[in-house]
Amino acid sequence: MASTVLVEVRDNVQIMTLSNPEARNAATLEMAEAMVAALDELDRNPALQAGIITGAGGTFCAGMDLKGFLQGKRPSIPGRGFCGLTQKPPQKPLIAAVEGYALAGGCEMVLACDLIVAASSAKFGLPEVKRGLAAAAGGLLRLPKRLPYHIAMECILTGDMLSAERAHAHGLVNRLTEPGQALDVALQLAQAVAANGPLALIASKRVAQESADWPQAEMFERQAAITTPVFTSQDAREGAAAFAEKRKPVWKGI
């Protein structure tokens, strides 16, 4: 049986391609299990600095595979969420490269990423209400924080699709590309991220994500617990030395 997640490494970037093209890359339980393995490898392997999720065949992901759902096989992993991603994203930076449709759980996977690159022809959507369901894999939680409230609620309550161009205009999408170019541009963005200090990247992402619900009086204390080890690391000294010596730093992750 062909793999439902194709994993490729380019330099220090891991590319994970959802591959169920006959069903517009709809997520299966097998795909979710494969994604967990790929994301765990991304976080475990010190040679990897960033990850990209994309889809095969010109589309990202159309949501849950309904055939599997009718067989009692939901593409969700306890503690990890839809397709093994939405509830517990990786520690390292993750970029979505979107062509075609990113709908329902597919859109929620995109929202679980840190950066989004999309082709101008891409479409995002949370159509769950049209099926009498709710976007419970993070869509209802994340979209109102990423878009102006009324734009987010239009998507959530109508279930209608949001064009990549409109998403970009409202700041949801970082880079808008020509059709077919999303992965190439995502790789350029990933390489810009991956050139930076690994400890600094992980700590910065963690603070940015966790600090939203920190009490204001505790913010800097909690931040310090995460960032102080970065400042005392060998990589911090290497970063300063490389700047002074006008050369590229050689990171060791320690």
What is the set of active-site residues? 108, 128
Amino acid in position 45: N
Rg (CA), the chain: 19
Contacts of residue 113, Cβ cutoff 8 Å, sequence gap at least 6: 53, 89, 94, 95, 96
Residue 32's alpha-carbon distances to 26, 36, 64, 125, 173, in angstroms, are 11, 6, 10, 20, 24
Q: Which two tokens stand for residue 144?
A: 């109102």
Place of tokens 């600090």: 211
155 CB-side CA count, 13 A: 27
- Report the run of H or E that residue 91 belongs to, with start and end: none
Provide the Cα torsion 231, 236, 239, 244; round to 10°. Answer: 80
Pairing label, strands 123-125, 115-119? unpaired
Residue 228 burial class via C-beta count within 10 angstroms: exposed 0-12, middle 13-18, buried 19 and up: exposed
Closest CA to 191 of 199, 183, 203: 183
